[in-house]
């Protein structure tokens, strides 16, 4: 059933390639893609390790749990109007899809099909939302928040606080309010940054002593009320911080980022606003990998999944605009290699099954 993911890419990208409008009417025009997204994600059955715990909670939302307040609020609100069991999966999938398209529209992305393709195969968000449900809701809200940091900082901060209501780990994203300055400072020597990312990403700092040290800096209310250890070491992200195969599936894209640096020298290709997005995307790729050096902080890498596709999008767009189709196709194929392998092997959230088949 992993062919469902392939069909999603083909159908959605073809449809999005026909959409040109970037006003609020855009959300109405992309509704078929949103509906397909909701149908696939909402109809999941036993996809990933956390399906059954969430299904149980959606049927027993009054049970005392460690879940964050906004997630609890919406789940109980849905239960109050009779939406239980599988229903909340559809609701949260719709929330993710709508927020994603709003944020992307705010970026003024002109080649939506290209961006959506990279969103699915590079960010891996689409598949992971069927496993790490709460944090993926927070991730897409943070993505919108990052976009607003460039435009309306106050709205961006509000979005981050809403994200914290779905997953406490989103609090780290408040450090990125001065996003323009941070991106400029840390990407001033982009090749050195990428090389450092390669070196440190291949290291592992996950051990009990270091984790205990890190836990000392966590507020008591998080450790006691939110059960911090369980929140960060549960089966949504188990041991990925030390899984070299998992790291390599991300680092395989490093040559593409290195290659994309040519755009920073081409003043005609990127607008001033796009240069800022490019630099933050580059920083996001590095942070996405560096946070994986330790299990306890690996969850923070989630928030940089979507922004990390910016530089890849810009370099692929560069060849598309120039009708230089050979490197365009090669880059698309190369960037999607890890994804095709995952859906072929059909493991965890890459192995799809639907409630309609049971």
Give mean pLDDT, residues 240-247: 55
The predicted structure's pLDDT at residue 41? 95
Q: Measure the CA–CA gap between 294 and 49, rounded to whole angstroms.
A: 21
Single pTM value for the model = 0.89
Sign of the Cα torsion 187, 189, 191, 193 reads negative
Give mean pLDDT, residues 251-257: 91
Give mean pLDDT, residues 275-304: 87
The predicted structure's pLDDT at residue 236? 42
**351 has a pLDDT exceeding 60:** yes
**142 has a pLDDT exceeding 50:** yes
Percent of the chain with pLDDT over 90: 54
* pLDDT tens per residue, range 74-124: 999 999 999 999 999 999 999 999 999 999 999 989 899 999 999 999 998
CA distances from 233 to 295, 297, 298, 358 (A): 7, 10, 9, 31
CB under 8 Å to 218, separation ≥6 — which residues? 228
The predicted structure's pLDDT at residue 233? 41
Helix (H, G, I), strand (E, B) or coil at 281: helix
Helix (H, G, I), strand (E, B) or coil at 24: coil
Give mean pLDDT, residues 298-324: 93
What is the average pLDDT score of the chain? 85
**238 has a pLDDT exceeding 70:** no
**206 has a pLDDT exceeding 60:** no
Give the closest residue to 8 by CA, choosing from 323, 348, 339, 357.
339
**267 has a pLDDT exceeding 50:** yes
Burial class of residue 348 (count of CB atoms within 10 Å of its CB; 0-12, 13-18, 19+):
middle
**49 has a pLDDT exceeding 70:** yes
The predicted structure's pLDDT at residue 347? 76
Asked if residues 354 and 45 have their Cβ atoms less than 8 Å apart, the reply is yes
In this prediction, residue 157 has a pLDDT band, given cuts at 50, 70 and 90, of very high
* Residues belonging to the chain: 358
The predicted structure's pLDDT at residue 344? 87
């Amino acid at each position: 059933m992993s062919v469902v993911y392939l069909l999603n890419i083909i159908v959605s990208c073809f449809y999005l390639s026909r959409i040109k409008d970037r006003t609020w009417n855009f959300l109405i025009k992309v509704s078929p893609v949103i509906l397909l997204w909701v149908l696939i994600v909402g109809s999941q059955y036993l996809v990933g390790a956390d399906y059954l715990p969430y299904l149980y909670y959606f049927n027993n939302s009054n049970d005392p749990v460690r879940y964050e307040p906004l997630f609890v609020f919406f789940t109980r609100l849905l239960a109050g109007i009779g939406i239980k069991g599988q229903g909340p999966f559809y609701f949260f999938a719709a929330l993710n899809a709508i927020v994603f398209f709003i944020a992307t529209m705010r970026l003024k992305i002109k080649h939506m099909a290209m961006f959506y393709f990279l969103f699915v195969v590079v960010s891996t968000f689409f598949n992971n939302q069927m496993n790490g449900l709460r944090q993926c809701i927070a991730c897409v809200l943070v993505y919108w928040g990052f976009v607003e940091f460039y435009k309306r900082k106050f709205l961006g901060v509000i979005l981050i606080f809403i994200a914290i209501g779905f997953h406490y780990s989103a609090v780290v994203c408040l450090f990125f309010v001065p996003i323009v300055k941070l991106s400029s400072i840390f990407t001033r020597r982009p090749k050195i940054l990428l090389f450092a990312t390669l070196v440190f990403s291949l290291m592992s700092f996950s051990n009990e002593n270091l984790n205990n040290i890190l836990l000392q800096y966590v507020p008591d209310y998080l450790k006691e009320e939110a059960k911090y250890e369980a929140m960060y070491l549960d089966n949504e992200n188990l041991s990925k911080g030390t899984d070299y195969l998992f790291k390599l599936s991300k680092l395989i894209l490093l040559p593409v980022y290195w290659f994309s640096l040519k755009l920073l020298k081409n003043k005609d290709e990127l607008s001033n606003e796009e240069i800022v997005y490019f630099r933050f995307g580059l920083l996001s790729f590095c942070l996405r990998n560096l946070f994986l050096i330790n299990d306890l902080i690996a969850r923070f890498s989630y928030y940089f999944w979507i922004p990390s596709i910016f530089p890849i999008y810009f370099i692929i767009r560069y060849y598309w605009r120039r009708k230089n189709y050979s490197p365009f196709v090669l880059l698309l194929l190369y960037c999607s290699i890890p994804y095709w392998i995952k859906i072929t092997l059909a493991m965890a959230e890459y192995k799809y099954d639907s409630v309609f088949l049971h």
